[in-house]
Amino acid sequence: MKILVLNSGSSSVKYQLLDMKNQTVLASGLVERIGEPTGLVRHKRRPSTDQEQTFTEEMPIQDHATGLARVVELITGKDTGVISAVSEINAIGHRIVHGGESFSTPTLIDEAVIEGIKAQIPLAPLHNPGGLAGIETAQRLLPGVPNVAVFDTAFHQTMAPEAYRYAIPKSLYTELKIRRYGFHGTSHLYVAKQCARLLAKPFAETSCVTVHLGNGCSMAAIKNGKCIDTSMGLTPLAGLVMGTRSGDVDPALHAFLADNKNLSIREIDTILNKQSGLKGMCGHNDMRDIHDLIAQGDEDAQLALRVFCRRVTQYIGQYLALLDGTDAVCFTAGIGENDHVVRRLSCATLSGVGAILDTHLNAEAPRGKAVEISASNSRVKIFIIPTNEELEIATQTLEVLG
Ligand code: AMP
């Protein structure tokens, strides 16, 4: 069974071709700058193996159809390819950012589903159109191959109203569906399932806090295999401090900035999404750069790191309280998997709530492996679990197809 996973953004398409027989990645890549004068294609044949080859090309890519056509050529090409014909692709799994309240599971795509995804565009105006372009192009280029939509919001649809409703006028919920949705659902689900595997427990009996710290950061509280709360909200701006996003701020900030800086709502939105977070505090959004700055004595970078980690601690504490009994806290994504300092600072005051880090295991943790980093006397285990959203999308695509 070969599954092509597509993650189509507004001007990019990320792809992976997976062989699900042995869960290996046959090819992967990224088409960028779609619609700009010079597009960029980066293609990897047999990535992360000793046969890995990388192909890079610059070419104009007018639209998603041109980009995806090039991907098909690359994965079937004599020198670049891994399959001889597109007919070897059994299904396509699409990452779709927003499923609103309409989609709580991965779904086989037909006309009604496309209409359903279009209906969520007001909730994800920057993201869902890219996903739709990917679906429409895949249907045209690979006719007869089933397409499955895997929604970033779906895993969080099990939240109860007290978790997802905001304390604002009810009509705003009923008219505009303003509520907490949460994102990164595919990653949280994958990591929670791996956590169950490490604990040798059935997933439906596993409770954990998943801490996704990448460019975007979010957390989920999972009770008996179901999400009961998550830190992102109506949009991915809420919750933890991120690379360029502020996370939680006083909701009166918009009015204050509009009054005092004469800024428009759009300008404020750009500040909070693109110029805040780590970048806003110290000028850099990559955690590796922040450590370099701290080593040079940069106090802004030091404070940005402390603010980032304090927010992680606060959310873990919140979720441990909500879960009322947790098996594990699981760190994942670029920062969560690789940054032992962030994990140490984030866990520093959690011993009172039962999660004690083994600082040696934490500092020496091997890269790219799921490992335990909690002390032997820790009631709540602490794990590092590498996320794999593409594999989870491919797995869910297979499940939908039975
Ligand atoms: P992701 O969105 O999961 O790909 O994570 C990307 C982010 O992970 C980058 O912006 C970095 O801040 C962070 N990151 C990646 N590698 C490391 C590392 N070795 N140490 C600290 N942070 C890292």
217 ligand 1 Cβ < 6 A: no
- Which residues, at least 6 apart from 363, have a Cβ–Cβ distance to it below 8 Å? 340, 344
Q: Which protein residue's CA is at the shortest distance from atom 8 of ligand 1?
A: 334
Is 288's C-beta closer than 6 angstroms to any atom of ligand 1?
yes
Burial of 163 (0-12, 13-18, 19+ CB in 10 A): middle
Ordered by where they begin, the domains of the chain are 2-151 (3.30.420.40), 201-389 (3.30.420.40)
Q: What is the pLDDT of residue 9?
A: 86
Which atom number of ligand 1 is nearest to the Cα of residue 387? 3
Query: Which residues lie below 8 Å from residue 85, measured CB to CB, with a gap of 6+?
Result: 76
Ligand 1 center to 215 CA (angstroms): 7
Q: Is the CB of 287 under 6 A from ligand 1?
A: yes
Using CA atoms, how far apart are residues 293 and 299, in angstroms rounded to an integer?
8
Distance, CA of 122 to CA of 34 (rounded, Å): 22
DSSP 8-state symbol, 137: H
Q: How confident is the model at residue 22 (pLDDT cuts 50, 70, 90)?
A: very high
pTM over 0.85: yes
- Render 43-69 in DSSP notation, one character per residue: EEESTTSTT-EEEEEEE---SHHHHHH
Predicted confidence at residue 10, as pLDDT, reads 83
Q: For the segment 215-267, what is each residue's pLDDT rounded down to a tens digit?
A: 999 999 999 999 999 999 999 999 999 999 999 999 999 999 999 999 999 99
Among 211, 217, 241, 286, residue to substitute to test ligand 1 (most atoms within 8 Å of Cβ) = 286
Give the residue-averaged pLDDT of 377-389.
97
Q: Determine the average pLDDT of the residues in 56-76.
A: 94
Per-residue pLDDT tens for 276-294? 999 999 999 999 999 999 9
Question: Mean pLDDT for the chain?
Answer: 96
> Given pLDDT bands bounded at 50, 70 and 90, which one contains residue 104?
very high
Instruction: Flag whether 338 is marked binding.
Output: yes
Amino acid type, 310: R
pLDDT at 262: 95
Q: What are phi and psi of 326, to 5 degrees?
A: -135, 140
Whether 277 lines ligand 1, by a CB cut-off of 6 Å, is no
pLDDT at residue number 60? 93
Q: Report pLDDT for 126.
A: 85
pLDDT at position 110 over 90: yes
How large is the average pLDDT for residues 155-181?
Answer: 98
Spatial separation of the C-alpha atoms in residues 308 and 321, rounded to whole Å = 20
Confidence class for position 23, pLDDT limits 50, 70, 90: very high
Residue 99 has pLDDT above 90, yes or no: yes
Q: Which sequence positions are flagged as catalytic? A: 152
If you write DSSP's letter for every residue of 274-303 in order, what string do you get?
A: HS-HHHHHHS---HHHHHHHHHTT-HHHHH
